[in-house]
Amino acid sequence: MTVATAATAAASRTSAASAPAAATRPPGGPPVRVPCRFLGWGAAVPGGRLTNADLEARLDTSDAWITERTGIRERRTSGSGETTASLATAAGRAALERAGVAPSEVDLVLLATTTADTPCPSTAAHVQHALGTRGPAVDVNAACAGFVYGLHLAAAAIHAGGLSRVLVIGGERITAITDPDDRATAILFGDGAGALLLEVAQPAAGEAGPGLLAVDLGGDGSAIPHLGIPAGDRYLRMDGQEVFRRATRAMATSCEAVLDGAGVSAEDVALFVPHQANRRIIDATAARLGFPADRVAVNIDRYGNTSAASVPMALAEALDAGRLSSGDLVLLSAVGAGLSWGSTLLRWGA
């Protein structure tokens, strides 16, 4: 649904019964505008490396097929002692250190993950304990779209009052739910984590201050049979073609809703940070929206699809490379199992 208005939410609910909501939702809506500063960011990957040559050696696949169909050349994989919590903690710690903020000054940890280390307690609880943050901690599961959901929830918590600093992390050990013998999925997924620290800010005069400017979140449960872990299975199963078709449409429509909602066009946006699911989905969406390659963050070649970690990892890499300045507009977008999807437009600024 489009978060901005009840009217668009109602339109989305009506359309969901008959067709994928992304295809029929009217674009646009009032902006959200949650003033907040982005104080720090970080990323972490595990030590293991799985190259296309490694996969070629044990599966009926080839480097040429994987590279052409996905853009992926290698992924990072967790080994002994590396968990979703340890990756998320490392990314979160890096974000706090960059910000110069003590763990005791963090009011809430939101961990977007599909691969909780244990069903109970939340993996976020382990991260909170390891970091030593003071407030509550909770997992958010919206598959690959989870980090964008987490950002919206963080902004909502800040907006509602009472919380000053929220640490949003996307962390996954997605290889734990990937069947190493299934060539349809084994080629795609890798592990990692990325984090962003948000702090409440006063509304800026002229509304040019940093913060979330527009958000679009959506869901279409009719896609459940096409992507997920079936009951009794331990591994993710995927109808790649159907997911590809729906994901391409959902991501583009959601991005358009956010740009329309904020009243800007792709030309106004300094960087598009899409979920790194497949290079062809990224390229198709960027082309439809009008982003040239030099304004799109891509690291799928080195990390594969890291699910909820992919957007914050790509954002952190772009920031480390100096690709964003204060005042720049950044568009984040992701689609994952559910389907669930989300996009948000940020005005960058610490």
What is the H or E stretch that residue 234 is in? none
Interface with ligand ACO, residue 196, by CB under 6 A = no
Q: What is the DSSP letter of 113?
A: -
CA 82 to each of CA 79, 86, 186, 309: distance values in angstroms, whole numbers, following the listed order: 6, 6, 19, 15
Interface with ligand ACO, residue 144, by CB under 6 A = yes
Judge whether 155 and 34 are in contact, CB under 8 Å: yes
Could you tell me the smallest distance in angstroms from the CB atom of residue 53 to ligand ACO? 14
Distance from C-alpha of 216 to C-alpha of 198, rounded to nearest angstrom: 19
- In the bound state, the residue with its beta carbon closest to ligand ACO is 240
Interface with ligand ACO, residue 180, by CB under 6 A = no
Stretch that binds ligand ACO, among 242-250, 287-295, 316-324, 342-350 (CB under 6 A): 242-250
Which residue do the tokens 């990756």 mark?
A: 87
Distance from C-alpha of 131 to C-alpha of 173, rounded to nearest angstrom: 19
The rounded Cα 308 to chain-centroid distance in angstroms is 5
Interface with ligand ACO, residue 250, by CB under 6 A = no
Q: Is 199 left (phi over 0), alpha (psi -120 to 50) or beta?
A: beta
Rule CB under 6 A: choose which of 73, 134, 159, 183 binds ligand ACO: 183
Which residues are tagged catalytic?
Answer: 144, 275, 305
Closest CA relative to residue 190, chosen from 210, 167, 212, 174: 174
Interface with ligand ACO, residue 247, by CB under 6 A = yes
Report the residue number, 70 or 128, with the smaller CB distance to ligand ACO. 70
Interface with ligand ACO, residue 235, by CB under 6 A = no
Distance from C-alpha of 153 to C-alpha of 111, rounded to nearest angstrom: 11
Report the residue number, 33 or 69, with the smaller CB distance to ligand ACO. 69
Stretch that binds ligand ACO, among 18-26, 61-69, 265-273, 291-299 (CB under 6 A): 61-69
Stretch that binds ligand ACO, among 76-84, 119-127, 211-219, 238-246 (CB under 6 A): 238-246
Report the residue number, 7 or 224, with the smaller CB distance to ligand ACO. 224
Amino acid at 306: T
Could you tell me the smallest distance in angstroms from the CB atom of residue 172 to ligand ACO? 8
Interface with ligand ACO, residue 277, by CB under 6 A = yes
Rule CB under 6 A: choose which of 28, 42, 150, 336 binds ligand ACO: 336
Judge whether 326 and 350 are in contact, CB under 8 Å: yes
Distance from C-alpha of 262 to C-alpha of 213, rounded to nearest angstrom: 6
Could you tell me the smallest distance in angstroms from the CB atom of residue 270 to ligand ACO? 25
Distance from C-alpha of 227 to C-alpha of 339, rounded to nearest angstrom: 8
Could you tell me the smallest distance in angstroms from the CB atom of residue 176 to ligand ACO? 12
Distance from C-alpha of 105 to C-alpha of 100, rounded to nearest angstrom: 10
Report the residue number, 152 or 165, with the smaller CB distance to ligand ACO. 152
Helix, strand, or coil here: 84?
A: helix
Stretch that binds ligand ACO, among 28-36, 75-83, 241-249, 266-274 (CB under 6 A): 241-249
Interhelix angle 310-320/146-160, rounded to 10 degrees, is 80
Within 103-142, the residues that bind ligand ACO by CB under 6 A are 114
Judge whether 262 and 27 are in contact, CB under 8 Å: no
Rule CB under 6 A: choose which of 50, 142, 143, 298 binds ligand ACO: 143
Rule CB under 6 A: choose which of 187, 198, 289, 311 binds ligand ACO: 187
Give contact residues for ligand ACO (rule: CB under 6 A): 61, 65, 69-70, 114, 143-144, 183-184, 187, 227, 240-241, 243-244, 247, 277-278, 281, 305, 307, 336-337
